[in-house]
Structures are given as C-alpha cells and as structure tokens.
Structure 1
Amino acid sequence: MKKVLVLGGSRYFGRGVVERLRDAGLDVTVLNRGSTPAPSGVAHLIADRDDEAGLAAALGSRSFDVVLDQVCYTPVQAAIARRVLRTARYVMTSTIEVYDQIRTDVPMTESLVAASPVDFGLPWHDTDFLEAHYGDGKRQAEAVFADGDVPFASVRVAHVLGGGDFTGRLRHYVERLDAGDAVDVHAEPRPTTFIHQREIADFLAWTTTEDFTGPVNAGSHGALSAMDIARAVALEPRFRIVERDASPYSFDRYAVLDTSRATGLGFSFSTTTDWLGEAVEEIRKA
C-alpha cells in the first residue's frame, strides 16, 4: 500500500484531496499545526513546518512513497522540507501566480518559468512581504525542490472557485451585483484560467498517484475575464472602469494557462461553463 504524507490538507480543496487518497485505499498521513482535525480514517501528525526540529521530532523515522505539499510558500520552507522529509517523490501545490511576470497573448506553457534564483535572505517570515511576493515565493520554492535528488512535480493551480472558498473573491461579485452595485474593472480586462475546487482535488489526487515530474498546469477549459464572471452572476451587470484597485479577477494582462501537458499525461479537464453557475448559486444559498 502506497504511503502518502500530506502537508496541510485540512481545509477547502486540500481536505478533498486527502479524502480521495484515503478512499482510493492509500495509507494517508496528514501533518498540520493542529488547528483543524484531519479527515477520519487517516493518521494525523501535529507540527509547525517552519520549526525544523519540531517537524523532525514529529516525523521520527517515518518515510513515505509520496509527499503532497499543500502549504509550501517560500524557499525557506522548501529547504526545511528537503532536509527533514524522507520520500521517494515530492509533489508541491503551486499556483498560476508563478507566471505573474510573464507578458504574452497566448496560453502560458510550463516552460515560460525557468529555474528561479533563490534568495533565502529575504524576509519570508514577514506576512506582508510574503503576501506581496506570493508568486516569487512559490517560484523559489519550486526551484529549491527541483534542485534536489528526489523526483519532483509542481502543480500550478488556476484560480479556484466553488465550494467553501474562503477568499471571498467570487462572493465580491455576487454581493455587489445582486445589490445593484457596479464591479470595478480595468478598461480592457483580460482573461485568466479557473478551476472548480472538486476538479483540483481530483487532479492533485491523480498527480499524487502518478509518477511524472516537472511543472504541470491545472485548469478548466474556457478562460474567463472579469466581465465574463459578472455576466454569469447578473443578466445586465454594471461596471466601473478603474486604473487600480479593480475587483478580484480583473487583470490587465493575459493570464491563461496552457493545460496541454496535463491532457497529454492523461487527465481530462472540464469546461468552466459546466460549473460556474453552480458556484455562483452556492454563494447565494450560503
């Protein structure tokens, strides 16, 4: 039986991944800080991944066939994980934001982000700094793992909608438009890629059980702009053009993922129109 360690995995689509792996018959262990219990039927370890000694003590002599790292945001965290965790394969949940410096008018392939220079001296412990450098933190974390000896895959996740989305970004549209207010958008909002929380849970569980390496983009077919999202919420949405502080998902750059690698590896994604209306109604019912 394959042994899998999931770092994080206690909320939103991470919990769904754990449940899928458990239901597939894998021997699953969840490691988190203990603020949220792990799903039933899996082992649970409590440790702070930023505390290297505490992490090592919690793991003891355990080794795993695969580690799925849901909560790695910095190169410092990646380096600690490389030193402490014993595994035959490492999978990191990354983000579409690793492409935040790319300017293109065609879907973005994984090769557009080369190995990123790593700087451990930056203030990665500072919450405000980390939030402002989210994409760079993920790029550098990917680079740390890719430079190691353990086979490594990174899943660059599109913007996630549906379910218990704690970000409130789609809710912003629903609440404003249902109240008759306008949403703030760029003069020419560009499209980006989205994925439903069920589908990214499916994809991460699938990736965990496969053996490919390298980065892979994950997103539903059918890119959407901020105006497309608004029109899924209201028949006649109102817009206000702004130069800054636009509504979530309003981008002034083209930010669409090319998912042909994932498709070639054997995973079939849905189309956003299959589930966007459902995601909107979930928010209204909540």
Structure 2
Amino acid sequence: MKLLMLGGTEFVGRAITESALSRGWEVTVLHRGHHPAPPGVTALRGDRTADDGLAALTPGGGRGDAGTWDLAVDTWSGAPSAVRDAARLLSGRVGHYTYISSRSVYDHPAPAGLPEDGPLVSGASPDATGDLPYALAKRGGELAVLDAFGKRALLARAGLILGPGENIGRLPWWLTRIARGGRVLAPGPREAALQYIDVRDLAAWVLRAAEDGLHGPYNLVGPPGHATMGELLDACAHATGSRAELCWTDPEPILAAGVEPWTDLPVWLPPGELYDTIHAGNVDKALAAGLTCRPVTETVTDTWHWLMSLGGTAPRRPDRPQVGLDPRTEERLLAGPVTGHAMGTGESARSRPSPS
C-alpha cells in the first residue's frame, strides 16, 4: 500500500505514519516542517494555510511526477477549505481518503448511545475559511471529503484520544501530578466509566479499514467502560511508582469550588449531559469492523515511558488550552472534608466493581 499522510509528524498523524511503516507500506508525508518526519518516509513540505501549500503534490512539485497513492489520511482541524483543496486535488490520484474527524460533529448535547446517524451540527460548509468552532471545522472537513470522494471516503469520528505522543496534555498531566506524590484530588465517582481510544489502536483500525474499503462515518473510540476513572488513576500510580494518596471526592464540592471539568481535571466529567456526550457514545459499528482496544495499563505505562524519554515535559499544541488543576485550588479542596473515599495506591483497582 502507498499512503499519503497529510500531517504525520505529531500524535495522531505520527501514530498512523509509524503504523503504516511497520506494515511495510510506502509512506509520503506532507508537513509544514515544524517537527521532523519519521525516518523511512518521503517527506514533502507544504503549509496548507498558504496559497501554494499543496504545490509539492502537483505535477513537477517535488516528486518529478503527479504522484498516486492507494490511501490519503488527513487529520486537519482548521478551516475546512484546506481539506476541500486537498481532496479536490487528489480525487483522481488517490484511491481512498480517510478524514480523522471528531464526535464533536454531532448536535450538542449528544445523548448516551448515539450512533453514526444521529443529528449533526448545522451551518458547516466545506468552503469556510478562518477560525471556526471545532465542531463546525470538523463537519465542514467531512463535507469537503464527501464531495470529492463520495463512497471512497471514510470519516473516522474520534473521541478522546490518549497514548504516547499526546500533545494536548491530559494524560501527561495526571501522570506528572501523581508522580509528584502526596495527597491527590481524585474526582469521583471512582467507578465512572470512561470512553477513550489509544492513539495506536486508532491508527491500526484506520489502516485496516482503508484496506477493507470501508466508507462513511464511524465513531472511533473505545467502548464505554473500557476503563474507569479509578482504574486510570491507579494505572498512573503504578506506572510512575508513586505512593500518592488518591483522595476520592464527590463532584459537588469540586464544582462548587469553580473547578472546570475536562480542562482543570483532564478526562473527568461529572455525571450529566456532557458526560453522556463524551463518555457514552455508541461504537458498535467500529467494533463490528474490527476495532480492538489495549488495556488502560498499557496506554498509561507507555505514555509515562514516552514522557520520561522527553525529560518529563510533553509537547503541547499552541491551539489548545492548557490543562491541569491549579495547585492552590487542589490544596483548598483537600483541606476541606473529603466526601469520597481516600486511599493509598496499595488498594487494588480489581477490588472495586467494573462497569459492563
């Protein structure tokens, strides 16, 4: 297989590129040059926000010919017009086009169990330029790909993505916080089911799906309850060797203190509408199409090893807000009555109920 990766030097794009290389595929990466491309690829330079950003993909634009590929994968999350331009340029030279979209394209709030035919955000356009809300940008990108490729287009609507290479900072924040030790504010309920996908499992499924010629939308995230909040934080303690005390606290005092779920306390959401939207999506279609998900302990441990290889500081995308709880806020909450169950890391996660 010949893969054209639009991006390919960070997190999702890099994981897909490395997965393709491990299969012996021939990989071409078009990127801006902000980060080195993985060894073994044909690297082309291009800034898709510039007028000539796709010049390297045109005849005589750096390849010596027009170039053809079996598959293109596009992770773009900016203005949909960039996706439109790439898809139109490649429609006659690429067999299959996969767009890494997002479950954010569903009309908010998305109820628990919503499948791929649920209502979508309105007002999206494949021709839109400039800064857009994330949901509109991703839906506009979907429309652009569908317009150019039709039934040769796969829309991978990803949910929460974790794993080595994460440049948002969610799992790296929990790892570094728990590694620091002491009393750690652990947002309850401990048994709350999480829905996420390891970036390497996402990459493997995307490439298999392209080989199989799958098309249309797929919710691409692990099944709800593949891990719980408790299992995630226990895995962080185990991976880092920390003796931190996880102080499980009910949502009410956390929210009353002005703590923002998802950003101040990454991954965590209290029960309610947003929790159902993020952590309770329907993934039957992807599971039936071969999606498999590795254990949370593997995701967490491998992310910690990757983080340590960088000296403990993870890269962060400049277009995403910083995540993590202010230490002073954590201290104030821990100084008050903890309304959940506080425990050390010696208490096994296996002793508590697992969601079905």
What band does the TM-score fall into relative to the shorter chain? 0.7 to 0.9
* Percent identity of paired positions between Structure 1 and Structure 2: 25
Cα deviations across residues 24-83 of structure 1 (Å, max 9, x unaligned)? 233221111122232222211111122343414543222322211123433212211122
CA distance in 2, matches of 1:273, 1:18: 23
Count of residue pairs brought into register by the alignment: 277
The equivalences for 1:103-118 within 5 A come to: 103-105=110-112, 107-114=113-120, 116-118=122-124
Match of 1:213 in 2: 215
Matched, 1:95 2:117: no
CA distance in 1, matches of 2:215, 2:157: 13
Aligned with 1:203: secondary structure?
helix
Matched, 1:64 2:86: no
CA distance in 2, matches of 1:97, 1:115: 8
Q: How far 1:281 sits from its partner (Å)?
A: 4.6
Matched, 1:24 2:23: yes
In structure 2, stretches of 5+ residues that fail to align are: 60-65, 238-244, 313-356
Contact 2:57 2:67 in 1 (8 A): no
Match of 1:236 in 2: 246
Cα deviations across residues 172-204 of structure 1 (Å, max 9, x unaligned)? 223334443554858999644111222122122
Cα deviations across residues 198-253 of structure 1 (Å, max 9, x unaligned)? 21221222233220100112223334565653454456334451155221222343
Contact 2:70 2:95 in 1 (8 A): yes
Match of 1:275 in 2: 298
Contact 2:32 2:46 in 1 (8 A): yes
In structure 1, stretches of 5+ residues that fail to align are: none
The structure with more radius of gyration:
2
Change (3 A) 1:253 1:99: farther
Cα deviations across residues 96-116 of structure 1 (Å, max 9, x unaligned)? 3334713313x3311114485
95-104 or 164-173: bigger deviation: 95-104
23-32 or 270-279: bigger deviation: 270-279
CA distance in 1, matches of 2:122, 2:2: 31
Match of 1:197 in 2: 199
Aligned with 1:65: secondary structure?
strand
Match of 2:84 in 1: 79
69-78 or 219-228: bigger deviation: 219-228
CA distance in 2, matches of 1:56, 1:209: 28
180-189 or 243-252: bigger deviation: 180-189
Matched, 1:261 2:285: yes
Aligned with 2:54: secondary structure?
helix
Aligned with 2:175: secondary structure?
helix
38-47 or 244-253: bigger deviation: 244-253
Aligned with 2:177: secondary structure?
helix
